[in-house]
Amino acid sequence: MLFKKNIERWKPMQEVNSREFKALFKNDLFKDSRLEGYQKVWDKIKQASQFYGFEVEDSENQFEEVYKIKEYFDTPELTLRKRGFLIRQNSRVVNGNISYPASLTAKELGRNTYRVLGSRLDFAEGITGKTEVEEKIALNDQGILDGYVEIKRKIYLNEARPSVSLNYFANIFPEFSNIGLDPNTELVTYRMHSHRVYPGTIILSDKRRITFDFECCLYDNEEIPFVVGCSYTLDTPKYHDMKKSHKKAEEFLFIVIEGACKELVYPGAGRWLGSKLSMMLEQNTSEILELETI
């Protein structure tokens, strides 16, 4: 089990707030109708879950979409991402218009937990926001549970962002002044349209209920998603004392999603470790993204 290796290797795992389990589904399952795609895929997952002893409950309004525009900011060479950083704005769309506040998040991520948890990425003096530490888990291209850790700092914007210069973001997150790029660098915007639904809840035990979601990701002016992600998150207030929950959450991904429902999974998805962003960036540039090996 991955969590056992984490506990043995990384003493500071108690600082991790949650574990997000991820997979990527084939986009052609949703090409005719996103609603029909959600229904068919969820029915398949429910059947497999029940067969392997996982209880699943449908949610109300389970296929009602939440529409957001996700914008990621980097250089054409993906300099930030290659150095383990990410900048993202999530903006909810209501009646065709962006609705504020919108979240602005900076992350440092990687397999080296000590580097990430020791990150100097923080808010500028006078700026307050929310901090989270999360582990991301998916099957890699060898079919093995794998993952990385990220620390994220998030604030909310009450109006349109005035700039995409590195200096603008460094005024909020000063560490971006120390990464060796000219502060006047104008960053490129990489955009996807996110349509997310929450079809139901997975019950790992009497006390652990986990919300499951699907996310259709589309490029500008396109109707068919380039990929569909699924995920569920286990909160870990006491990482080291949750062995049963860790085991069940990992088994659900390995046995149900990547096992019984393997025909739903996007071919070669393991190279992106469940990351829709990594897939999108590689599709839109000539760059290859890799996490450090440890």
- DSSP codes joined into one string, the chain: -HHHHHHHH-GGGGG--EEEEEEEE-GGGGSS-HHHHHHHHHHHHHHHHHHTT-EEEEPTTTT--EEEEEEEEE-TT-HHHHTTEEEEEEEEEETTEEEEEEEEEEEEEES-HHHHHT----PPTT---EEEEEEEEEE-TTS-EEEEEEEEEEEEESS-----BHHHHHTTSGGGGSSSS-TTPBPEEEEEEEEEEEEEEEESSSS-EEEEEEEEEE-TT-SS-SEEEEEEEEE-TTGGG-HHHHHHHHHIIIIIIIIITGGGBPTTGGGGTT-HHHHHHHHHSS----PPP-
Instruction: Write down the mean pLDDT value for the chain.
Output: 92
Among 73, 23, 13, smallest CA distance to 48 is for 23
Give the structural domain span for 159: 2-284
Q: Rounded distance, CA 250 to CA 212, Å? A: 14
pLDDT at 265: 96
Among 24, 18, 57, smallest CA distance to 201 is for 57
pLDDT at 224: 95
Task: Judge residue 272's burial from the number of C-beta atoms within 10 Å of its C-beta, 0-12 exposed, 13-18 middle, 19 or more buried.
Answer: buried
pLDDT at 189: 97
Greatest distance between any 2 Cα atoms in the chain: 56
pLDDT at 113: 83
Tokens matching residue 238: 């006491």
pLDDT at 238 exceeding the cut of 90: no
Specify if 6 maps to a domain.
yes
Instruction: Give the global pTM.
Output: 0.92
Do 165 and 187 contact (CB within 8 A), yes or no? yes
Select the more confidently predicted residue: 166 or 111: 166
Specify if 289 maps to a domain.
no
Count up the domains in the chain and report the number: 1
Specify if 119 maps to a domain.
yes
Select the more confidently predicted residue: 12 or 107: 107
Specify if 294 maps to a domain.
no
pLDDT tens digits, residue range 69-98?
999 999 999 999 999 999 999 999 999 999
Specify if 291 maps to a domain.
no
pLDDT tens digits, residue range 121-140?
999 999 999 999 999 999 99
What's the pLDDT band for 41 if we cut at 50, 70, 90?
A: very high
Specify if 87 maps to a domain.
yes
* CATH number of the domain residue 217 falls in: 2.40.320.10
Share of the chain above pLDDT 90, in %: 80
